[in-house]
Amino acid sequence: MGVQLYANNAATTLAAPCSAVATEMTLTDGSNFPNPSGGDWFLLTLYQLSGAQEINFEIVKVTARVANVITVVRAFEDATRFPARSYTTGDFAELRRTAGSLGLASQTANVPAGNIVATDVQAAITELDNEKIAVATKDASGGVVGLTTWKINFRNAANTFTSWFVNAATAARTYTFPDKDGTVAMLSDITGTNSGTNTGDETVTTVGALINGATAKATPVDADFVGLMDSAASNVLKKLSWANVKATLKTYFDTLYSTATGVETLTNKTLTTPVVNGYTEGANVANTGTAYTINITEDTVQILTLTGNCTYTFPAAAVGKSFLLVQKQDATGSRTATWPAAVKWPSSTAPTLTSTANKADVFAFTSDGTNWYGRTIGSAYL
């Protein structure tokens, strides 16, 4: 149980600005302020100046101080009048008495009337320590009349609270402490009501239930950790980062899959800004007959010999597709070609084919997704 701390004439300014939701502040000089620990705390009043007038107050609860950096609970007292607000470098921070702290110090509702004459808390503690409560203020059991809420605190050797018993007067309670020295460690040492559930040691079942009930995370990041049993260290529990999981998997898969060398087939893959040296396009060499379907799935160079008056069927139009057609006359010559309706020529005029036997024309075709746009590269080769 923490207590409120005080210091005389502790005042400074803010060394850095802070927002209305900041829970850490940096003081110019924090050396004159208390250093809370073990749940202790002190109140700090923040304010600004407008000329000589103090304005924009806020009372914060300081729960920790490391040098000049303090951890605070914002708008701790009288939040309606003094809400959390932003402050700038140079604004003021002072340890002042507040209405709340004065009220806490003056509370005597649970002190038996007629016994305490002290006017401050420390004197009241000393008086209670040195005097017995009058018999008139006790009930038949020896308890203090009117004492409806009480707390017994236990301190350790370092003089900090470690545990306590509380009675909120919700029902009659009896707590009996053994007449012996030692540590209260067993339920049999105390008579009264004990609450809570001891689940015992964790098992694979209970741990599994905890994992199953945890919030799911879709995409891990490098700083995330998972637990594992280390078989190389007597099966102790250790943690493994996602960064190390990725690095280990990469090393493993690199032993299974080599980099692209020799012949590699890339199906439906996109190469971004590649540098390709000495490449060879796939080529199809065939005779047409009187009907021929051009397939560029593997071969984007089509070397076709007209062995009859041929009607072509082109691949389905797709944006960006293209191919080269080397069209030859056979030994007879004068063969004709009929182009699909999707083939468009410059000025809507199909080219005149070379009719001479064994001569070749070269055409290039590019698709926009609807049509195939053809152009003549050259005529009457060979």
- pLDDT, tens only, 315-348: 999 999 999 999 999 999 999 999 999 999 999 9
Confidence of residue 249 (pLDDT cuts 50, 70, 90): very high
Say yes or no: 120 and 173 in one domain.
Answer: yes
Highest mean pLDDT among 4-18, 160-174, 255-269: 4-18
Say yes or no: 290 and 315 in one domain.
Answer: yes
Say yes or no: 247 and 325 in one domain.
Answer: no
CA distance 293 to 301: 14
Is there a domain that residue 262 lies in? no
* Out of 27-31, 61-65, 99-103, 270-274, least confident range: 99-103
Say yes or no: 317 and 299 in one domain.
Answer: yes
Is there a domain that residue 203 lies in? no
3-class DSSP state of 57 = strand
- Looking at 170, 189, 208, which one is the last position of a domain? 189
Count the domains in the chain.
4
Confidence of residue 179 (pLDDT cuts 50, 70, 90): confident
Instruction: Report the mean per-residue pLDDT for the chain.
Output: 83
pLDDT at 203 over 90: no
For residue 43, list its beta bridge partners.
61
Q: Please give the backbone phi and psi of residue 125, each rounded to the nearest 5 degrees, phi first.
A: -60, -45
Say yes or no: 176 and 91 in one domain.
Answer: no
Is there a domain that residue 364 lies in? yes
Say yes or no: 63 and 146 in one domain.
Answer: no
Nearest one of 359, 291, 351, 298 to 327, comparing CA atoms: 359
Residue pLDDT, tens place only, 132-168? 455 555 566 655 555 555 566 666 666 665 566 566 6
Residue 186: predicted pLDDT: 52
Is there a domain that residue 361 lies in? yes
Residue 114: predicted pLDDT: 45
Is there a domain that residue 149 lies in? yes
pLDDT at 208 over 80: yes
Q: Please give the backbone phi and psi of residue 4, each rounded to the nearest 5 degrees, phi first.
A: -80, 135
Domain containing 161 equals 110-189
Residue 118: predicted pLDDT: 55
Say yes or no: 89 and 134 in one domain.
Answer: no
Confidence of residue 111 (pLDDT cuts 50, 70, 90): very low
Match 């139009």 to its residue by tokens. 317
